[in-house]
Structure 1
Amino acid sequence: MSGDKLYLEDLTQAQLANFFRNLADRLSGAAQDADDSSAADSVAAPNPGEFKKLKISIKGDAGGFSLKWKSKAMIRRADAEGEGIAAPADEREVKYKTLKKRMKANFKAVTESLGADVMPGEAAVAAFLEDSRLMTTFPDKGAEFYADYERACTDFSRAFAAGDLGACKAAGVTLNQLKKDCHGRYK
């Protein structure tokens, strides 16, 4: 399901209600696999599957109702074994370019704080570390650097949790060097 569209016209109020009941059953997992389209007021809702975005619009007119359904599939990435897996909810909408821009801003905030001999804000650190974890799930973007980068992130996280400014600075320098090495090769 990568961009499904459905248009239904001249639906009665009962058919429209049945459509939404059917959709609710499918979303809750209570729907039967066999479509019961024998009933006069039955309009089967498509299986939404694992969607990133679902848009349903309804217009009423003299002939009844018209319904428009648009859906976008969830982004799938390859795991280590090469199979496509669905990303967790917070990862579904992340594009690599968007992630990199966000990481750049958060890392800048962290390094500026460390450069001023001040512990960085907890929100900036948490966002940077979470984005770093997400970034290392993208294949072919510097996978040989990921293990070292994750270790440096762990070191930074521990130093931050301990409130150790010196260790945070050292881990920040390591992270910055790994970033430069990776970007030098992949940018």
Structure 2
Amino acid sequence: MSDDMTISKYLDAGELAAFFRALADAVENGGHDEFACVDDFRKIKIGVKNEFGQISLKAKFKAAKPCAPEAVGADGEPARPKYKDLKKRMRGSFKILVKMVHDGVEPPREAVDAFLADAALMVGYPGYGDEYYESFTQVCAEFKAAYESGDLERMHAAVDGLVHEKSRCHAKYD
């Protein structure tokens, strides 16, 4: 499975209740069968309609991480994701960092680590803003130091620096 899964089917009221019980169990105890990887979700969207006595269920699950094992390159190292996929992944962690820091709240370690790891990967892709990579990497290091110190003011300044670097690069390359 990739990082998302869709379920679309018609069922009766009893089957709908069983679906929700199985989903709750998968979130609480780990995914399996129909709900593989649901326990590590990023987003769940569920729509239920009563259509002429038949219940229509549409559910879409986006996992935080791909469920399938990572692809391995010829050198035995994990294969790099496509640049577009990496940027999409970074967008999510960056959004939460900016919002939380601007709200005066320390972001979760998982989001910080994911963003910094993806940022380090991103600067290894030639042709996507190479001339900005060094300054971006420096601001990432400043953000990491600010986060490690727990200083929200420093984090705020560093996040603003990251926004600035992103804007400079994206103005030319997006």
Q: Which bracket does the TM-score occupy, shorter chain normalised?
A: 0.5 to 0.7
C-alpha spacing 1:126/1:87, structure 2 compared with 1 (3 Å): farther
Residue 90 of structure 2 aligns with which residue?
Answer: 103
Residue 131 of structure 1 aligns with which residue?
Answer: 118
Q: How far apart, CA to CA, are the structure 2 residues paired with 1:99 and 1:153? A: 16
Q: How far apart, CA to CA, are the structure 2 residues paired with 1:108 and 1:87? A: 32
Residue 106 of structure 2 aligns with which residue?
Answer: 119
Give deviations 1:2-51, integer Å, cap 9, x for gaps: xxxxxxxxxxxxxxxxxxxxxxxxxxxxxxxxxxxxxxxxxxxxxxxxxx
TM-score normalised per structure 2: 0.57
- The size of the alignment, in residue pairs, is 104
Name which of 138, 160, 169 aligns with 2:156: 169
Residue 140 of structure 2 aligns with which residue?
Answer: 153
Give deviations 1:71-130, integer Å, cap 9, x for gaps: xxx38xxxxxxxxxx5832xx141101100010110000011011100111000000000
Q: How far apart, CA to CA, are the structure 2 residues paired with 1:135 and 1:88? A: 16
Give deviations 1:146-167, integer Å, cap 9, x for gaps: 0000000000000000001000
Q: How far apart, CA to CA, are the structure 2 residues paired with 1:152 and 1:129? A: 11
Pairing 1:88–2:71 present:
no
Counterpart of 1:148 in 2: which secondary structure? Answer: helix
Q: Letter of the 1:183 partner, please give it.
A: H
Q: How far apart, CA to CA, are the structure 1 residues paired with 2:76 and 2:91? A: 22
Q: How far apart, CA to CA, are the structure 2 residues paired with 1:116 and 1:145? A: 28
- Calculate percent identity across the aligned residue pairs: 36
Give the structure with the higher percent helix.
2
Pairing 1:181–2:172 present:
no
Please give the root-mean-square deviation of Cα atoms over the aligned residues, in Å.
Answer: 1.6
Larger radius of gyration: 1
Q: Letter of the 1:88 partner, please give it.
A: E
Q: How far apart, CA to CA, are the structure 1 residues paired with 2:157 and 2:77? A: 32
Q: Structure 1, unaligned stretches of length 5 or more?
A: 1-51, 54-73, 76-85
Q: How far apart, CA to CA, are the structure 1 residues paired with 2:76 and 2:93? A: 22
